[in-house]
Amino acid sequence: MASLLSRFCRKLALPGSAHGSRMTSTTACGSETVKSLNLYSAINQALHIALETDPRSYVFGEDVGFGGVFRCTTGLAERFGKNRVFNTPLCEQGIVGFGIGLAAMGNRAVVEIQVADYIYPAFDQIVNEAAKFRYRSGNQFNCGGLTIRAPYGAVGHGGHYHSQSPEAFFCHVPGIKVVIPRSPREAKGLLLSSIRDPNPVVFFEPKWLYRQAVEEVPEHDYMIPLSQAEIIREGSDITLVGWGAQLTVMEQACLDAEKEGISCELIDLKTLLPWDKETVEASVKKTGRLLISHEAPITGGFGAEISATILERCFLKLEAPVSRVCGLDTPFPLVFEPFYMPTKNKASSSSSLSSPSKTHIF
Residues that bind other proteins (CB under 8 A): 62-63, 65-66, 69, 87-91, 93-94, 117-118, 121, 156-162, 298-299, 323-331, 333-336, 339-340, 342, 346, 349-351
Rounded to 10 deg, the angle between the 302-314 and 277-287 helix axes is 60
Q: How far is the CB of 336 from other proteins (least distance, A)?
A: 4
The residues pairing with 292 across neighbouring beta strands, listed in sequence order, are 241, 324
- In degrees rounded to 5, what are phi and psi of residue 272? -90, -25
Q: Give 61 or 206: the residue with its C-beta nearer to other proteins.
A: 61
Q: How far is the CB of 66 from other proteins (least distance, A)?
A: 5
Bridge pairing between strands 85-87 and 57-61: parallel
Measured CA to CA, the distance from residue 343 to residue 252 in angstroms comes to 9
Give every CB contact of residue 177 below 8 A, 6+ residues apart in sequence: 194, 197, 199, 200, 201, 202, 226, 227, 271, 273, 274
Q: Give 48 or 294: the residue with its C-beta nearer to other proteins.
A: 294
Measured CA to CA, the distance from residue 68 to residue 103 in angstroms comes to 22
Q: How far is the CB of 86 from other proteins (least distance, A)?
A: 10
Alpha helices of 233-343 — where are they, by DSSP H?
A: 246-259, 277-287, 302-314, 337-340
Q: Give 13 or 127: the residue with its C-beta nearer to other proteins.
A: 127
Q: Give 20 or 89: the residue with its C-beta nearer to other proteins.
A: 89
Q: Give 158 or 184: the residue with its C-beta nearer to other proteins.
A: 158
Mapped onto helix, strand or coil, the DSSP state of residue 242 is: strand
Instruction: List the catalytic residue out of 62, 92, 251, 337.
Output: 92
Instruction: List the catalytic residue out of 62, 129, 162, 337.
Output: 162
Q: How far is the CB of 88 from other proteins (least distance, A)?
A: 7
User: Is 162 noted as a catalytic residue in this protein?
Assistant: yes
Q: How far is the CB of 310 from other proteins (least distance, A)?
A: 17
Using alpha carbons, select from 340, 337, 330 the residue that is nearest to residue 159: 337
Q: Would you name the residues annotated as active-site residues?
A: 92, 162
